[in-house]
Amino acid sequence: MGKSGFHCITFGCQMNVNDSQWVERALMRLGFQEKPLEEADVVFINTCSVREKPEQKVYSALGRVQRANPHAVVGVAGCVAQQIGEELMRRHPQVRLVAGTDGVASVPEAFVRLLNEPKLKLSYLNFTDVFPDRDPCLVDAAGRPEQEGVTPVAYVNIMQGCDNFCAYCIVPYTRGPRKSRSAKAVIDECRSWVARGAGDITLLGQNVNVFGNDKSGDGTTFPELLRQVAAIPGLRRIRFVSAHPRDFSQETIDMFAELPQLCPRLHLPLQSGSDSMLKKMGRGYTMERYLSVVERLRKARPDMALSTDLIVGFPSETEEEFEDTLKAIDSCGFMSSFSFCYSDRPGTRASAMPFKIPHEVQLERLERLQSLQNERAEAWLKSRVGLVTDVLLEGPSQRRTEQNNEWQGRDPWGDMVNVTMPEGEGRPGEFVDVKINRALKHSLKASPVEKNAQTRA
């Protein structure tokens, strides 16, 4: 009899992706093997409910699993699982495991039990008082990587949950109160990723600025954590998401000038360019405050590139308030943004607000906003042409052929760069000095240059 098979389906944010990748590693440590959906013994679905559409995708996925593999044991985790709970098992009998956001650590062992006990159903829905830490499943007892190969880019959870309760956001209800991980656990995991070849690590949390400032923390502040991560030998790049403008301290800003490993790319959610909208959203800052953070960031790191989140059509949003958001795209110089139409999420304050904006008006505004942002994004990429920088190769490009040894990776600003390497050269995890030759619609093309041949970007 062969190994039990698993299949993972993931929706939502990078933290969900990171959680699913951990579940995969943990299942492989337990002897499972990744298999196609039709052949899997267990199917893990990690869910998102930040917006309505991703939630509907979960129900579609459950139907797809039922049609493709009706005998598999299905486990649903993440925000939709936290929100709907055991009702998922009543609606979908194939679901025998429900795990909330703090219950993901129990998933691998739960699948083992469920395969051995056919009538058993399990749920892990309680929020924990401390960060639900877990063995990252990266190295064995001797400190050697458990799996062969190089992982050029890695993500490390440093905290979970949120206490902000913005009017539109379901995250505090689905991820629970803010809980920081211990600095030692974070550093140990980062070291393990570097041992597997990671040269670029992103620190993840719902509001990383306030890391350590809760009863689960060990007293280490976020700037102190950044210094400790930067001190790990072999680590070339550090990034973090997400940051809250209200809690962005000057000490954290200063890290961009102090730590060369900290990349000049920051995702700083704005949500709206209108002070009246920001107040109704409960964001806790004004445009003046936000622009002050932007100005100080660019003073610390003049080549700083900013991306953001924007909500269109929040309840009662006027045309003038929407136009304030359009103005913010230019005044802040966003190189990219994630923009969405507002949608009610159950239990949030905004869901009970009057004066909902008609969906057709939302869509028209979203189209105008995205058109403007696309212009700015194209201008950003064109501005990179001619610069010399370094690219961390992640793998072969989809356009790679025997005649064209093209690789892809990212520069310090997070842009995808396609690099044509000399024949026989290139490997995952390699840093290559390149010159940007051409801007495409969503990426850049480059060629290698000799080190120190030109002034770097």
Instruction: Using alpha carbons, list the distances in angstroms from residue 91 to 86, 96, 173.
Output: 9, 11, 22
Strands in 187-300 per DSSP E: 200-204, 237-241, 265-267
Evaluate whether 105 touches 131 at the Cβ level (below 8 Å): no
164/433 Cα distance (integer angstroms): 42
Q: In whole angstroms, what separates CA 321 from the centre of its chain?
A: 29
φ, ψ (nearest 5 deg) of residue 312:
-110, 135
Taking only the tens place, the pLDDT of each residue in 224-279 is 999 999 999 999 999 999 999 999 999 999 999 999 999 999 999 999 999 999 99
Q: What is the pLDDT of residues 57-71, one digit of tens each?
A: 888 999 999 999 999
Contact 392, 239 (CB under 8 A): no
Of 175, 173, 178, the closest CA to residue 163 belongs to 178
261 phi/psi in degrees, rounded to 5:
-75, -20
All structural domains of the chain: 5-124 (3.40.50.12160), 153-383 (3.80.30.20), 388-448 (2.40.50.140)
The mean pLDDT of 313-340, rounded to a whole number, is 97
CA dihedral sign of residues 442, 445, 449, 455: negative
pLDDT at 139: 64
Residue with tokens 């005044």: 331
Q: Give the mean pLDDT of 383-393.
A: 97
371, two tokens: 């058109």
pLDDT above 90 for 143? no
Considering the chain, what percentage of its residues have pLDDT values greater than 70? 96
